[in-house]
Chain A
Amino acid sequence: MSDYEKLSYDVVVIGAGGAGLRAAISARETGKTVAVMSKSLFGKAHTVMAEGGIAASMANVNPKDNWQVHFRDTMRGGKFLNNYRMAELHAKEAPDCVWELESWGALFDRTKDGRISQRNFGGHEYPRLAHVGDRTGLEMIRTLQQKVVALQQQDFKATGDYESGIRVFAECTVTKIFMTGEGDNRRVSGVLAYWRTTGEFIVIETSAVVIATGGIGKSFKVTSNSWEYTGDGHALALECGGSLINMEFVQFHPTGMVWPPSVRGLLVTESVRGDGGVLTNSEGRRFMFDYIPEVFKSQYADTEEEADRWYTDPDNNKRPPELLPRDEVARAINAEVKAGRGSPHGGVYLDVSTRLAPDVIKAKLPSMWHQFKELADVDITQEPMEVGPTCHYVMGGVEVDPDTTAAIGVNGLFCAGEAAGGLHGSNRLGGNSLSDLLVFGRRAGIYAAEYVDAATTKGWRPAINENDVTEALEWALKPFTMTGGENPYTIQHELQEVMNDLVGIIRTEHEMTLALKSIEDLTMRIAYLNTTGGRSYNPGWNLALDLPKQLLVSKCIALAALTRQESRGGHTRDDFPMMDPYWRKVNLVCTVDDGELVVEKKSLVSMTNDLQALFDEVELGKYMTAAELETAGQG
Chain B
Amino acid sequence: MSHTAIFRIWRGDKGEGALQDYSTQVNEGEVVLDVLHRIQAEQENDLAIRWNCKAGKCGSCSAEVNGKPRLMCLTRMNSLPEGEPVTITPLRTFPVIRDLVTDVTYNYVKAREVPAFQPPEGLKPGEYRMTQEDVSRSQEFRKCIECFLCQNTCHAVRDHEENKEYFAGPRVLMRVTELDMHPLDTLDRQELAQEELGLGYCNITKCCTQVCPEHIKITDNALIPLKERVADRKYDPLLWLGSKIKVRKDAD
A532: which B residues are within 8 A, CB to CB? 44-46
Q: Let me know if A488 is at the binding interface, CB within 8 A.
A: yes
For the complex, give the distance between the alpha carbons of A260 and B26 in Å: 13
Q: Residues of B within 8 Å of A, CB-based: how many? A: 61
Chain A min CB distance to B18 (Å) = 16
Q: Which of B29, B131, B145, B179 is in CB contact (< 8 Å) with A48?
A: B145
A-B contact count (CB 8 A): 175
Q: Given the complex, which residues of B lie within 8 Å of A102, measured CB to CB?
A: 125, 128
Query: Which residue from A100, A107, A149, A541 sits with its C-beta under 8 Å from B111?
Result: A149
Partner of B60, one of A40, A197, A266: A40
Q: Which of B51, B52, B54, B132 has the most CB of A within 10 A?
A: B52
Scan A495-538; emit 1 where CB is below 8 A from any B CB, else 0: 00000000000000000000000000000000000011110111
Assess whether A100 is in contact with B125, with CB atoms less than 8 Å apart. yes
- Chain A hits for B179, CB < 8 A: 105
Q: Check if A46 sits within 8 Å of B76, measured CB to CB.
A: no
Known: A44-B52, A103-B125. A262 touches B29 (CB 8 A): yes
Chain A min CB distance to B69 (Å) = 16
* Interface majority SS (helix, strand, loop, mixed), chain B: loop
Residues in B with CB closer than 8 Å to A153 are: 112, 115-116
Q: Does A489 contact B (CB under 8 A)?
A: yes
- B99 contacts A537, C-beta separation under 8 Å: yes
In whole Å, how far is A16's beta carbon from the nearest beta carbon of chain B? 12
Instruction: Give the contacting residue for B125; candidates A40, A46, A99, A534; CB below 8 A.
Output: A99
Q: Are B119 and A103 in contact (CB under 8 A)?
A: yes
Interchain nearest-CB distance for A64 vs B (Å): 18
**Contact B125–A227 (Cβ < 8 Å):** no
Instruction: Assess whether B34 is in contact with A262, with CB atoms less than 8 Å apart.
Output: yes
Kindly supply a per-residue 1/0 record for chain A positions 132-158, scoring 1 wherever the CB is within 8 Å of any chain B CB and 0 otherwise.
Answer: 110100110010001101101100000
- Interface 1/0 per residue, B62-85 and A, CB below 8 Å: 000000000000101000000000
Q: Given A147-B116, A226-B52, A260-B28, A110–B146 Cβ distance below 8 Å? A: no
Asked if B59 is an interface residue, CB under 8 A from chain A, the answer is: yes
Q: Is the CB of A487 within 8 A of B45?
A: yes
Q: Does B173 contact A (CB under 8 A)?
A: no
Q: How far is the CB of B141 from chain A (nearest CB, A)?
A: 10
Evaluate contact between B29 and A132: CB separation under 8 angstroms. Answer: no
B42 (CB) vs chain A CBs: closest residue: A489
Q: A152-B112, A262-B30 are in contact. Are A48 and B58 (CB under 8 A)?
A: yes
| Alpha-carbon separation in the docked complex, A603 to B125 (Å) | 40
Contacts of B145 in A (CB 8 A): 48, 138
Q: Which residues between 325 and 381 of chain A lie within 8 Å of chain B, taking CB atoms?
A: 366-367, 370-371, 374-376
* B29 x A371 contact (CB < 8 A): no
Query: Which residues of A (29-73) have their CB < 8 Å from a CB of B?
Result: 40-44, 46, 48-49, 58
User: A366 vs B139: C-alpha distance in the bound complex, in angstroms?
Assistant: 12
Among the listed A49, A135, A149, A538, which residue makes an inter-chain contact with B48, where contact means beta carbons less than 8 Å apart?
A538
A374 to B112, CA, bound (A): 33
Question: For the complex, what is the distance from the CA of A58 to the CA of B115, rounded to whole Å?
Answer: 30
B128 to A: closest C-beta gap in Å = 5
Residue B117 CB within 8 A of the other chain: yes
Asked if A109 is at the interface (CB within 8 A of a chain B CB), the reply is yes
Nearest-neighbour CB distance to chain B for A273, whole angstroms, equals 19
Complex Cα–Cα for A367 and B46 (A): 32
**CB < 8 Å neighbour of B41 from A48, A104, A490, A531:** A490
Instruction: Give the residues in chain B near A291, CB-CB below 8 Å.
Output: none
The answer to whether A367 and B57 have CB atoms under 8 Å apart is yes
Contact partners of A115 in chain B: CB under 8 A: 129
Nearest-CB distance from A22 to chain B (Å)? 15
**Interface residue tally on A, bucketed by range:** 35 or more
How far apart are the CA atoms of A531 and B47 in the complex, in Å? 12
B241 within 8 A of A: no
Q: How long is the Cα–Cα vector from A179 to B51 in the complex, in angstroms?
A: 33
Q: How far is the CB of A369 from chain B (nearest CB, A)?
A: 11
When the two chains form their complex, are residues B58 and A537 in contact, meaning their CB atoms are under 8 A apart? no
Q: Which of A96, A197, A488 contacts B45 (CB 8 A)?
A: A488
Partner of A40, one of B42, B52, B142: B52
Q: Which residues of A contact B34 (CB under 8 A)?
A: 262
Q: Does A539 contact B (CB under 8 A)?
A: yes
* Bound form: Cα–Cα A489–B38 in Å: 10
Residues of A within 8 A of B53 (CB): 44, 46, 48-49, 226
The yes or no answer to A263 lying at the interface (CB within 8 A) is yes
**Measured CA separation A115–B130 after assembly (Å):** 7
Chain B residues within an 8 Å CB radius of A538? 45-46, 48, 98
Contact of A260 among B29, B51, B97, B146 (CB under 8 A): B29
Quick check: is A113 within 8 A (CB to CB) of the other chain? yes
**B117 / chain A contacts, CB cutoff of 8 Å:** 104-105, 146, 150
- The answer to whether the Cβ of B31 comes within 8 Å of any Cβ in the partner chain is yes
Is A160 located at the chain interface by the 8 A CB criterion? no
- Please determine whether A49 and B57 come into contact, CB atoms closer than 8 angstroms: yes
Asked whether A540 is an interface residue with its Cβ less than 8 Å from the other chain, the reply is yes
Q: Does B197 belong to the interface (CB within 8 Å)?
A: no
List of A residues within 8 angstroms of B59 by Cβ: 44
List CB contacts (< 8 Å) of B117-163 with chain A.
Answer: 117, 119, 123, 125-126, 128-132, 135, 138-139, 142-146
Identify the 3 closest CB pairs spanning chains A and B, nearest first. A260-B29, A533-B46, A540-B45
Beyond A49-B57, A146-B116, 16 additional pairs, beta carbon < 8 A: A44-B146, A46-B53, A48-B57, A102-B125, A107-B139, A108-B135, A139-B142, A149-B112, A226-B51, A267-B55, A374-B56, A487-B41, A532-B45, A536-B98, A537-B101, A540-B40
Residues of A within 8 A of B (CB): 40-44, 46, 48-49, 58, 95-96, 99-100, 102-105, 107-110, 113-115, 117, 132-133, 135, 138-139, 142, 146-147, 149-150, 152-153, 162, 197, 226-228, 259-263, 266-267, 366-367, 370-371, 374-376, 487-490, 493, 531-534, 536-541
* Interface positions of B (Cβ within 8 A of A): 13, 27-31, 34, 40-42, 44-60, 74, 76, 97-99, 101, 103-104, 108, 111-112, 115-117, 119, 123, 125-126, 128-132, 135, 138-139, 142-146, 179, 182, 185
A-B contact pairs, 9 of them (CB 8 A): A40-B58, A107-B182, A109-B139, A132-B142, A135-B57, A150-B117, A226-B58, A375-B55, A375-B76
